[in-house]
Amino acid sequence: MSLFFVYITDKQRKGRLFMKDVLTIQQIRAHLQEGTYSEEMLSSWQEDHRTGVQKLMDAHKRKQVKEQELREQYDHMCSFENAYYEKGKQYIAGIDEAGRGPLAGPVVAAAVILPRDAYIAGLNDSKQLSEAKREALYEQIIDTCIAYGVGIVTSQRIDEINIYQAAKQAMLEAVDELECQPDHVLVDAMPLSELSCTYESLIKGDQRSVSIAAASIIAKVTRDRMMQEADTAYPGYGFKDHMGYGTKQHLEALRKQGITPLHRLSFAPVKDLSRV
């Protein structure tokens, strides 16, 4: 009987071990998505010449750059809060409203107190965010904040006292709803001398302060949900699409179907239709 011996060189042995230890592209993708990787793993993937791996690494680098930009934006928008923390303030509330311009529906305001060490990636003026992003941030804000409050003023009350005073009333009600009362308030472009604490009014505050941005999202999402419910109560007006603003669809529905209890009679063209 003949015996055959197979000799494996060191180079072949190392090659086989290397191939055994190499992760598939799908496995690398999973590690990147789940964040279960080390710096050594990243370095090895950067040197991996497979096209699929290099595409994953390029996407990973872009994601890291975006995350860094969001972090820097958030830190920049904390400047007003940080200035007042340095002055000894502990609970700083941001206040904003949604719904000044529509022809129908309430004006809604929110007040939010965020923890000093909070970080909510992508937090910004609600008007600059998609509906899906607002909804996601709404949940994060609720889960993260120390306290939040909402104030709602109806269209009837808006007609009685005008939209400016109604927006102010909603803001003050939102502060009253806070479980933890603030010792300072940052508010978007509204003087609130009625407050019992100090405050600062900031022009375009929802783009400059994380607290006001958080309040803008709570107010916007709360009001949008109310208008979506109104769409069921008053079909044919398209409230879930335009949220009460004076779009072509809305104006046409007003002319055909008339005025609802949600409409602001003091706003043209609702006022003009009420005279017909």
Collect contacts of 38-46 with beta carbons under 8 A, ≥24 apart.
none
Q: In what order do the strands lie in the sheet with 92-98?
A: 147-153, 107-113, 92-98, 184-188, 198-202
The type of residue at 149 is G
C-alpha span between 128 and 250 (Å, rounded): 23
Q: Where are the alpha helices (DSSP H) in 192-238?
A: 210-233
C-alpha span between 226 and 170 (Å, rounded): 15
CB 205 within 8 A of CB 189: yes
Please give the helix or strand (H or E) that residue 150 lies within, else none. strand 147-153
188 is in an annotated binding site: yes
The type of residue at 227 is M
C-alpha span between 191 and 172 (Å, rounded): 11
Please give the helix or strand (H or E) that residue 189 lies within, else none. none
C-alpha span between 85 and 171 (Å, rounded): 23
Q: What is the CA radius of gyration of the chain?
A: 28
C-alpha span between 237 and 210 (Å, rounded): 35
Annotated binding site: 96-97, 188
- Binding residues for a divalent metal cation are 96-97, 188
